[in-house]
Amino acid sequence: MQRRQALALSAMGLVAVTRRARGEDAPEGSGAWDDVRTTLFDNRPSQANEAIVSLDAPARALDASVVPMTIKLGQPAAEQDRVRTIWLVIDENPAPVAGIFHLHEVSFGASIQTRVRVNSYTRVHAIAETSDGRLFVSERFVKAAGGCSAPAMKDPAEVEARRGRMKLKELGTFAAGQPNTVQLLISHPQYTGMQIDQLSRNWIPPDYLRRINLAYDGAPVMEIDGDISIAEDPSLTFVFIPPRPGTLTVEATDNKSRTYKGSFPMGSAT
C-alpha cells in the first residue's frame, strides 16, 4: 500500500509538469482534475454527498503558504458507509496530492484539519473512499497564489534546532470511549524545492514529511502520506475515540529518510 501511494504521488508530479508544458495553467477548465482523477482512480465513478464528506476552505486565502483546510466526515449509517481513505487534492499545485489519510476504526466518522500551500487559483477536492469502495467528492475554489515558492518564515538555524519537535494539544476534556479532538504540531521546514535561500540565492532542495503514523497504545489510529503542499510546521487536528486512558504515539518520516518520534499520554496515563 505504501509503495502504491508513493507511486501515485510521484505520478501526480509528472502530471503537473506535463500540464504546465502544455500551457494548461488556467484553473477555469477541468483538465487538472480530470488528470488527477484518471491517475489516482482510473476514472472510477464518484459523486458529491456532503453527508459523507465535506470540505471547508477559504474562498480567498490571507496567506497562500498557510491555507487552512477542514475535511468533515458524517456519521456512517451502515458499515459500508464508513470512510477508510481520504485524498486532499489541490488541482493546480505542482504536486496536487497534498495528503492521503488512511483511517482506522477509532478515527471513522472524524474530522481532519490541516494547513496547505496553494500555488495559484485552484479548485480543491476532498475525495473519500468508503469501506465498500465507493468514492465521494467535495469541491471548493480557493483564490491564492505563490504559496509553494513563498520564503520560509523562520531563520534556518532555528529551523534546524527545532526540526522534528512535536507537541500534542488536547482540545477538550479527555473522555474514554467518546470522540476526542487533538491537535498535533510538528516542527519541520517543508521545503518545496521552489524556494530560494535569501542569503545565498541558491535553490533550497525539497525537504518535507512523507509519512506520519499515529497509534494509540499500539493500535493504529491514522497514517498520512504527505508531499510538498503541506505547509511549514505541519499542523493536524483530528478526532478519534480512545478506548481508555493511554498513550498516543507519532512516527514521522521525511523524504530524506529521517525519522522523528513523539509519545503523548492522554487521560490519566503516565
> Can you give the pLDDT at residue 29?
52
Average pLDDT, rounded, for the chain: 89
- Identify whether the C-beta of residue 12 lies closer than 8 Å to the C-beta of residue 6: no
pLDDT in tens, 111-165: 999 999 999 999 999 999 999 999 999 999 999 999 999 988 778 889 999 999 9
Mean pLDDT of 95-110: 89
Top mean-pLDDT range of 10-14, 34-38, 199-203: 34-38
- Identify whether the C-beta of residue 235 lies closer than 8 Å to the C-beta of residue 115: yes
pLDDT in tens, 222-251: 999 999 999 999 999 999 999 999 999 999
Could you give the domains of the chain? 2-266 (2.60.40.10)
Task: Give percent of the chain with pLDDT exceeding 70.
Answer: 87
**Distances from the Cα of 234 to the Cαs of 39, 42, 66, 68, 184, in angstroms?**
26, 30, 10, 11, 8
Is pLDDT above 80 for 19? no
3-state secondary structure of 160: helix
> Can you give the pLDDT at residue 6?
47
CA 96/CA 88 separation, integer angstroms: 8
> Can you give the pLDDT at residue 267?
94
Query: In terms of Cα–Cα distance, which of 168, 170, 187 is closest to 179?
Result: 170
> Can you give the pLDDT at residue 17?
44
Length of the chain: 270
- Identify whether the C-beta of residue 88 lies closer than 8 Å to the C-beta of residue 73: no
Q: Residue 2 belongs to what H/E stretch?
A: helix 2-21
CA 240/CA 73 separation, integer angstroms: 12
- pTM for the complete prediction? 0.89
Is pLDDT above 90 for 257? yes
CA 264/CA 166 separation, integer angstroms: 10
> Can you give the pLDDT at residue 269?
62
3-state secondary structure of 156: helix
> Can you give the pLDDT at residue 13?
52
pLDDT in tens, 48-92: 999 999 999 999 999 999 999 999 998 887 888 899 999 999 999
> Can you give the pLDDT at residue 156?
85
Is pLDDT above 50 for 107? yes
> Can you give the pLDDT at residue 1?
44
Exposure letters 178-217 (e unless 16+ CB within 10 A, then b): eebebebbbbbbbbbbbbeeeeeeeebebbbbbbbbbbbe
